[in-house]
Amino acid sequence: MSVAADSSKTLELFPQSVLAKHNSKDDCWVSTHERKIYDVSKYLKDHPEEADAVHKALDGKHGTDISQMELTTLKFVTDDYLVGYLATSDEEKKLLTNKSHKVEVKLNADNTFDSTTFVKDLPTEDKLSITTDYERDYKKHKFLDLNKPLLKQILFGNFTKDFYLDQIHRPRHYGKGSAPLFGNFLEAFTKTAWWVVPTVWGPVVLYFITTALMNMNNPLALFLFGLGIFVWTLIEYCLHRFLFHFDEWLPEHSMFFMIHFLLHGCHHYLPMDAYRLVVPPALFVVLCAPIYKLVFAALPYYWACAGFAGGMLGYICYDLCHYFLHHSKMPPFMRKLKKYHLEHHYKNYQLGFGVTSWFWDKVFGTYLGPDAPLSKMKYE
């Protein structure tokens, strides 16, 4: 009986009866008002010097609800000690009656987290998996109903440009797969798994770099390969800033709103959708064709092979990096980059266009620093 608790791991949903069994000093669990369950005994094993103070503070509260303030004071409110969520009475019934013993957890019933509000401090990762209340969101914002196919609503919604741009960049979380775009058999063509990118384009990189290495000076080929990777970082920045975010130049027409939504708006509206995050191969062919023709027209053929292979590898790294920034617990040296990109979604979508680095953001004055302002929210 497990559910997705955050973007990096799966945690169990426990009934009250199970929580109550962990009530000794050597095996002590506590739950918070947010329904998170922490294994305090694990914390005490790691910090024996604090055992007496913790047991005194938790006296009589083993296996019961305690406040988040107490957790913060006791210093163990970190995901390292998070073991699961406490089931509600309704969820306990579902756990016992459904065959898979899995149930979706919705934690925002008390309005403690609203993903549609841009914030100065990035939400913790567990909040990025809290499912949006579809009915409440539609009633409040009068934008899109996540229960129904989205493209039809955009095409016939009669939204103004200002309203569409305001709402499309304010994140929602679908919570159980991918929201419907068409609502029919076309749905499958709108989804791409992350592994498709290296599977399809990896052999292309191998072909072009092998061709270059077999037919030209190898050090020069490797230099051009590296140059191609560097040039890709600029292309990545420009595509993200000027094509994917052609917000200011978006014509006031629902057909163009739909194009904007398919190109990048869907990702900002539903940033944690794992199947609409990397570029589908068909779309990449369209975007890549002009670059391919330019490179092979401007350079000798084998030089072009080496440089284009580097650019393609840069693209593969970009798409994989983008996916894992959203859906994995990154190693320490990548966590700042993850925070930087997620702030593009949850703090200011008009800054921070670099995904694999912030180099070009600093060059062109769009760096999303700690003191950057929040994107304005015009409509509630």
**Sequence ranges of the binding site for Zn(2+):** 240, 245, 264, 267-268, 322, 326, 341, 344-345
User: Rounded to 5 degrees, what angle do the CA atoms 83, 85, 91 make?
Assistant: 145
Query: Comparing C-alpha atoms, which of 147, 140, 112 is closest to residue 126?
Result: 112
Binding site listing: 240, 245, 264, 267-268, 322, 326, 341, 344-345
Dmax over Cα atoms in the chain, in whole Å?
77
The sign of the CA dihedral 152, 153, 155, 156 is: positive
* Buried/exposed code over 88-123 (b: 16+ C-beta within 10 A; e: otherwise): beebbebbeeeeeeebebebbeeeebbbbebeeebb
Expressed in angstroms, the distance from the first to the final Cα of the chain is 38
Query: Comparing C-alpha atoms, which of 125, 98, 71 is closest to residue 2?
Result: 98
User: Rounded to 5 degrees, what angle do the CA atoms 235, 347, 333 make?
Assistant: 65
Measured between alpha carbons, how far is residue 283 from residues 183, 267, 289, 313 in Å? 21, 15, 10, 17
User: Rounded to 5 degrees, what angle do the CA atoms 179, 192, 244 make?
Assistant: 80
Question: What one-character DSSP code corresponds to residue 117?
Answer: S
Residue 35 region by backbone torsions, left for phi larger than 0, else alpha for psi between -120 and 50, else beta: left
